[in-house]
């Protein structure tokens, strides 16, 4: 049975509080006659206190092309990704040579060789490590990555896998785009990486992955994602996301749990992607849980912003580090993202 041995967070070193970022955007977009009161309203509504950036704030003005931003993305992604994996392996008490699989997820940059390949020598991984880079799943990819690793490991008790999620959202921002989705993204999304170490059940006593389910919602391709334009990735972010959560998530979760002989009342820990205040409120309504049940997600949003694929793994790491779970506890890890889709992962603590 697939077991989670450790989870670790890594943030780039350039922290900027939200007030400083807001001032920078006021200076940028005020020249374009954007309603600055509306800018401030949107930034404050996302309830993010500050974010870590891939680069020092003053260096962003010099990144005038997609090529420049993506080159910066590659360098920063390798650094923060290495940090996350080293921390996770240290927590799991494993050496890099013991890793059999390396899964890498992202949606904020492109690279060939991929970031996982660039980490093989830096981390000292074996030359026969099996790499799986995944691009395009966005916010759901942290949960989907765990599920896909479970597909591989549940028949391989002696093998070990690492899931690495790296998102550097600040390097995707379109400075010329004053649409509401881009303004919201400028206040909501942050930079960071998370790594999770799993094995087929031969080591440790971490939570087991008992079941997973993928859910795809037809006719929702324009709900969330990128439009690839000359200047890079232009955000697609529909205001219908919270409503989709309210309409669909409860029945999807109930069906998934019922297939395991469970109900929502049996779940002690809800590990939800920090998608933003409206999304978290929709999660609470759909799951019929109080604010306290998703407090770790709210806290992660406030301290780091929405980290796309890494967000749900940040929340998982916080839960594991707190040691709040007791033997027999069950947890539901869930995220939603471009497609539009959801991924559900059922956990149980031994």
**Angle in degrees, 0-180, between the axes of helices 180-188 and 18-30, rounded to the nearest 10:** 150
Kindly name the residue from 139, 169, 272, 341 that is annotated as catalytic: 139
| Structure tokens that stand for 21 in this block | 């970022």
Task: Tell me the HSE value of 233 on the side-chain side, using a 13 A CA sphere.
Answer: 22
139 catalytic per annotation: yes
Catalytic residue set: 139
């Amino acid at each position: 049975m697939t077991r989670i041995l450790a989870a670790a967070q890594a943030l780039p070193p350039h922290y900027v509080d939200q007030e400083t970022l807001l001032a920078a955007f006021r200076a940028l977009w005020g020249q374009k006659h954007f309603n600055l009161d509306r800018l401030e309203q949107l930034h404050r509504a996302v309830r993010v206190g500050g974010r870590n950036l891939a680069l020092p704030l003053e260096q962003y003005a010099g990144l005038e092309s997609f090529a420049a931003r993506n080159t910066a993305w590659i360098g920063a992604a390798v650094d923060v990704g290495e940090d996350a994996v080293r921390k996770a392996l240290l927590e799991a008490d494993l050496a890099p040579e013991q890793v059999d699989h390396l899964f890498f997820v992202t949606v904020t940059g492109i690279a060939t060789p991929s970031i996982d390949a660039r980490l093989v020598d830096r981390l000292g991984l074996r030359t026969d490590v099996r790499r799986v880079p995944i691009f395009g799943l966005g916010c759901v990819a942290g949960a989907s990555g765990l599920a896909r690793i479970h597909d591989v490991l549940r028949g391989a008790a002696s093998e070990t896998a690492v899931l690495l999620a790296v998102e550097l959202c600040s390097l995707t921002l379109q400075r010329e785009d004053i649409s509401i989705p881009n303004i919201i993204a400028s206040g909501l999304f942050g930079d960071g990486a998370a790594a999770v170490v799993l094995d087929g059940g031969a080591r440790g006593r971490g939570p087991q992955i008992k079941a997973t389910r993928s859910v795809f919602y037809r006719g929702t391709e324009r709900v969330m994602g990128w439009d690839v334009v000359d200047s890079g990735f232009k955000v697609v972010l529909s205001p219908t996301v919270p409503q989709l959560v309210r309409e669909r998530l409860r029945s999807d979760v109930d069906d998934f749990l019922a297939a395991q002989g469970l109900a929502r009342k049996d779940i002690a820990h809800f590990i939800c992607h920090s998608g933003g205040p409206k999304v978290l409120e929709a999660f609470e309504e759909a799951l019929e849980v109080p604010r306290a049940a998703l407090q770790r997600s709210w806290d992660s949003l406030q301290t780091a912003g929405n980290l796309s694929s890494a967000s749900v793994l940040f929340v998982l790491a916080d839960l594991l580090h707190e040691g709040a779970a007791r033997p027999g506890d069950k947890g539901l890890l869930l995220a939603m993202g471009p497609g539009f889709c959801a991924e559900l992962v059922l956990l149980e603590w031994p």
